[in-house]
A and B are shown apart, each in its own frame.
Chain A
Amino acid sequence: DAGITQSPRHKVTETGTPVTLRCHQTENHRYMYWYRQDPGHGLRLIHYSYGVKDTDKGEVSDGYSVSRSKTEDFLLTLESATSSQTSVYFCAISGGLEWPDTQYFGPGTRLTVL
């Protein structure tokens, strides 16, 4: 998985609780992304980062926030989890040195919100 780890790999939580997912890379890539995968939708971009402290929204960003305080870590936070956020979450990275960029995906985190 190109030096990408996600933690936790599985999580069950209750509605209304905060949740933070972590993506860690060892590739020193500039770009990092968070996607969610749901049946019938493929993967959809939540947020992405183009550098430390530089982030932008994707197509399904409502209810999510992100932070990137150092190159290797990109955090996704659900401030108050809802059942509609039950999904598999994938982190991806890309180097930003070629056009178009190839994205490399992590193994995923399965989140269940009860």
Chain B
Amino acid sequence: DAKTTQPNSMESNEEEPVHLPCNHSTISGTDYIHWYRQLPSQGPEYVIHGLTSNVNNRMASLAIAEDRKSSTLILHRATLRDAAVYYCIRSTGNQFYFGTGTSLTVIP
């Protein structure tokens, strides 16, 4: 989705926090923000989603800007198993619009 932009790649040291940014400046008021990740040779898998408030689950946290034009996925302690492509997604109804993804490299 050309309206959802992410950096192509990021690096993090193992056991350090990682902040993955996403810009969705044209998001509408009822669109949700989702994050999925894709491990090599697999389909994407759910990480987290939110609408307006910050969200936490066992995998990650999602921080959503007050104007909703950007969001940040936070992995609190990166592990080698977190190396993947992370997609920021805008959803309208049941339709998902993927960003181009950020490839996360975790350095031991």
User: B-contacting residues of A (Cβ < 8 Å)?
Assistant: 1, 31, 33, 40-45, 48, 50, 58-59, 90, 92, 94, 96, 100-108
5 A-B interface contacts by CB (under 8 A): A43-B87, A44-B98, A100-B32, A100-B34, A105-B45
Total A-B pairs, Cβ < 8 A: 53
Given contacts A96-B94, A104-B46, 6 further A-B contacts (CB under 8 A): A44-B98, A48-B94, A100-B91, A103-B46, A104-B45, A105-B45
Chain B positions 74 through 89: 1 when the CB is less than 8 Å from some CB of chain A, otherwise 0: 0000000000000100
For the complex of A and B, 6 pairs with smallest distance between CB atoms: A105-B43, A42-B98, A43-B98, A100-B32, A42-B100, A105-B44
Contact at A102–B43, with CB atoms within 8 Å?
Answer: no
Interface size on B, residues (CB 8 A): 21
Give the contacting residue for A107; candidates B32, B34, B42, B98; CB below 8 A. Answer: B42
User: A-contacting residues of B (Cβ < 8 Å)?
Assistant: 1, 32, 34, 36, 41-46, 49, 87, 91, 94-101
Contact at A108–B43, with CB atoms within 8 Å?
Answer: yes
Give the contacting residue for B95; candidates A1, A48, A107; CB below 8 A. Answer: A48
State the CA gap A45–B36 with chains docked (Å). 15
Q: What DSSP secondary structure best describes chain B's contact surface?
A: strand
State the CA gap A107–B40 with chains docked (Å). 10
Known: A31-B94, A100-B32. A107 touches B101 (CB 8 A): no
What are the residues of chain B within 8 A of A42 when measuring CB–CB? 1, 87, 98-101
State the CA gap A72–B99 with chains docked (Å). 29
